[in-house]
């Protein structure tokens, strides 16, 4: 599974989402182009996407796509978001060790929804012109 990088891959991402089940989970990494930590984290994030094909992995530059955060702020990188089709399951900064995200994804279905967090990305992205 490729990692969709926003804003560059918005059209392929929308095409992918339109063609796949609405219950496909999303994993978004909110980053900034200037962030060295993000650049170092990106290859491991892409490798993890291959291990979890039932999720759509999205790399979001917060300076290019601030609307995807809603009212939320990103203060540390990487900041990760895991969503089901209907709810946020995780939103927050995580140490840049891909094993932490891998463990989170392995158990995310047993975790309850969280209050707050960004709006549902699938709906937000599909509504964009």
**DSSP tag of 119:** P
Parallel, antiparallel or unpaired: strands 79-83 and 88-93: antiparallel
pLDDT at residue 11 in the model: 93
**Domain count along the chain:** 1
Would you say residue 129 has pLDDT above 70? no
List the CATH number of the domain containing 32.
Answer: 3.40.30.10
Q: Are β-strands 3-6 and 55-61 bridged in parallel, bridged antiparallel, or unpaired?
A: parallel
Could you identify the residue written with the tokens 């491991």?
A: 44
* Backbone dihedral angles phi then psi of residue 90, each to the nearest 5 degrees: -155, 140
Report d(CA 97, CA 63) in Å as an integer: 23
Structural domain of 76: 3-127
91 — phi, psi (to 5°)? -150, 120
Q: pTM for this one?
A: 0.93
pLDDT tens readout for residues 75-115: 999 999 999 888 999 999 999 999 999 999 999 989 999 99
């Amino acid at each position: 599974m490729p990692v969709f990088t926003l804003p560059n891959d918005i059209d392929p991402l929308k095409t992918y989402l339109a063609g796949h089940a609405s219950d496909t989970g999303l994993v978004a990494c909110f980053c900034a182009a200037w962030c060295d930590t993000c650049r170092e984290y990106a290859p491991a994030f892409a490798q993890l996407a291959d291990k979890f094909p039932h999720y759509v992995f999205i790399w979001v530059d917060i300076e290019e796509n601030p609307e995807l955060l809603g009212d939320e702020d990103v203060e540390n990188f990487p900041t990760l978001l895991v969503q089901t089709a209907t709810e946020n399951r995780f939103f927050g900064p995580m140490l840049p060790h891909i094993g932490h995200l891998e463990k989170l994804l392995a158990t995310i279905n047993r975790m309850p929804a969280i209050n707050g967090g960004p709006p549902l990305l699938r709906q937000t992205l599909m509504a964009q012109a």
